[in-house]
Amino acid sequence: MNLPDPMENLVRSMLKELGEDPGRDGLERTPARVASAMRSFTAGYDMDPAQILNDAMFDVDYDEMVLVRDIDFYSLCEHHMVPFFGRVHVGYIPNGKIVGLSKIPRVIEMFARRLQVQERLTMQVASTLEQVLEPKGVGVVIEAKHLCMMMRGVAKQNSYAITSSLRGEFEEDSKTRAEFMGLLRQNRDAFA
């Protein structure tokens, strides 16, 4: 016998508080759908960055910048539990180790699938790569639109936020920082 998800009762109560009838056609299965969606949106709490990265670490004699940019992400703002979304750009300078390129978006996804603020998300991605890879430097830039700013309150439709976390050579060496930022400014359609 399957026990109902306790979150379903909370959603049912919320619908009532909003003046809705949770039993009406169209809302009858909404509590189950919302509970399932929220569990998916916050699945990052059950993930471990070491497990994501450690099986894809390789010893390589390469010491130039590695950049993965335009990594799409979706997250939930911890203040209003509404989405914010955008792109993440990650660069690092290896120090004898590289990580499989697909693992970088997986780390981003893990942290994005939690209740978040953009600033913390930026730092968590940079810190994790810095701790696990021990690179000469790492840089993370996130550009995101926040529905809490677009749908409520100030209601500014064209605004977006940019955050960065620069570590090691990305912070200390102005040439490295300029190269990283320059690569981010390149035309996004240049590769297509």
Catalytic residues, by residue number, are: 77-80, 118, 146, 148
Pairing mode, strands 137-146 and 83-93 = antiparallel
DSSP state of 191: -
Q: How far is 136 from 155, CA to CA, in rounded Å?
A: 41
3-class DSSP assignment, residue 133: helix
Alpha-helix runs per DSSP H in the chain: 6-17, 30-41, 49-54, 103-112, 118-133, 147-150, 169-172, 174-185
DSSP state of 29: T
Q: How far is 78 from 10, CA to CA, in rounded Å?
A: 18
